[in-house]
Amino acid sequence: MESNILYQWQMRELKTDFVLTESPLPEVKENEALVKIAGCGVCHTDLSFWHDGVRTKKEMPLTLGHEISGTVIEGPAHLKGKNVIIPAVLPCGHCELCENDRSNICQNQLMPGNDFHGGFASHIVVPHQYLCPVPDSILETYSLEQLSVIADAISTPYQVMKKSELKSGDLAIVIGVGGVGVYGALIAKIMGAKVLAIDINDEKLEQAKNNGVDAVINSRGLDAKEIKNKVREIAKELCVSKYGWKIFEFSGTAPGQDLAFNLITFTSTLSIVGFTMNKLEVRLSNLMAFDAKLIGTWGCKPELYPEVVDLIATGKLKIKDFVETFPMSNINDVFKNTLDHKYDKRSVLVPDFSKN
């Protein structure tokens, strides 16, 4: 690959194949860094842009991808040559929201693969303020491309676990243990909770159980009442309170969200993490009657990324069982297979740029 060429797989129309393009590397401004991409994860949000018609901020043609790791090859001296994670949400750092500890929802934020060309490429130019360095010690266990999942799949559930005020001894109910939800389940376990995973895929549930989740329910064919009765039985078996359940909806489906709302009990907190365009009909008065909380979350503020990296560096969070890498030239097949739920692990695309 020529060092002065930028290769990008671009989306030009909805539901059509990505197209490989070549152009000169862009110029780097004073507040920016040029990162050579090691890997970029495939996220449900990318599928929403490509297949479901969710609008991107930047018009097509657009290079998707916001779950990125790589090496800084041009930028400030303290970062040059460093391996980094690029936060999926890049805030401005000085607005009202940023100054009030809500930088993840900064209204001036920039998101790779949405506001500007993203990570399904050989290189990317990004603001350098919030790049998160990767310590060399992690690379003795993981490749840099595997660590790209920190940018969203791990950092997003980490933020929501903290935001939910989850504490040791709580019952954490994780609905959907796919490429993001499984990390939510493992992080909840690290934080001392008893963790119940709910999914319709036995393989994903078995994988979660093998990695320390306390209990599982396959919800296929069960109605909300049957599932809630099972949850009560499991709560009793795990010796946790029947109150104050922390419920996390990761599936990004209407049935998953409906189930999550129906599991609310006294003093519960329900956190919505998965995204869907579908709408629900719910009785919001349940929140009043149960003195419960319903919260949303968007990405993860960059200030928390070092904490996430530390979980992996110290061996508390192990990720190898949940990541699978593919050559980036296979992007069209990977997107179609992901849409068809053919993978049980998070797919990470690694630059190769064959036209085949």
**Domain of residue 174, CATH code:** 3.40.50.720
In this structure, what token pair is assigned to residue 219?
Answer: 């919800």
In angstroms, how far apart are the furthest CA atoms of the chain? 63
Do residue 128 and residue 63 come from a single domain? yes
Integer Cα distance of 260 and 253 in angstroms = 11
Instruction: Using the 3D structure, point to which of 270, 296, 322 is the last residue of a domain.
Output: 296
235, pLDDT greater than 90: yes
The whole-chain average pLDDT of the chain stands at: 95
Strand pairing of 171-175 and 246-249? parallel
Residue 330 lies in a domain: yes
Instruction: Using the 3D structure, point to which of 250, 274, 296 is the last residue of a domain.
Output: 296
β-sheet bridge partners, residue 294: 270
Do residue 275 and residue 339 come from a single domain? no
Do residue 14 and residue 141 come from a single domain? yes
Predicted pLDDT of residue 1? 44
Question: pLDDT digit string (tens) for 152-209?
Answer: 999 999 999 999 999 999 999 999 998 899 999 999 999 999 999 999 999 999 999 9
Do residue 31 and residue 130 come from a single domain? yes
Residue 356 lies in a domain: no
CATH number at residue 16: 3.90.180.10
Do residue 289 and residue 305 come from a single domain? no
Burial readout 63-102 (b: 16 or more C-beta within 10 A, e: otherwise): bbbbbbbbbbbbbeeebeebbbbbbbbbbeeeeebbeeee
Q: Could you tell me if 176 and 252 are in contact, meaning their C-beta atoms sit under 8 angstroms apart? A: yes
Q: Could you tell me if 145 and 325 are in contact, meaning their C-beta atoms sit under 8 angstroms apart? A: yes
Instruction: Using the 3D structure, point to which of 269, 296, 323 is the last residue of a domain.
Output: 296
In this structure, what token pair is assigned to residue 162?
Answer: 């903290």
Do residue 172 and residue 215 come from a single domain? yes
Predicted pLDDT of residue 356? 40
pLDDT band at 2 (very low <50, low <70, confident <90, very high): very low
- Range(s) of the domain holding residue 50: 5-152+301-350
pTM for the whole structure: 0.92
Do residue 228 and residue 128 come from a single domain? no
Lowest mean pLDDT among 40-44, 286-290, 298-302, 341-345: 341-345
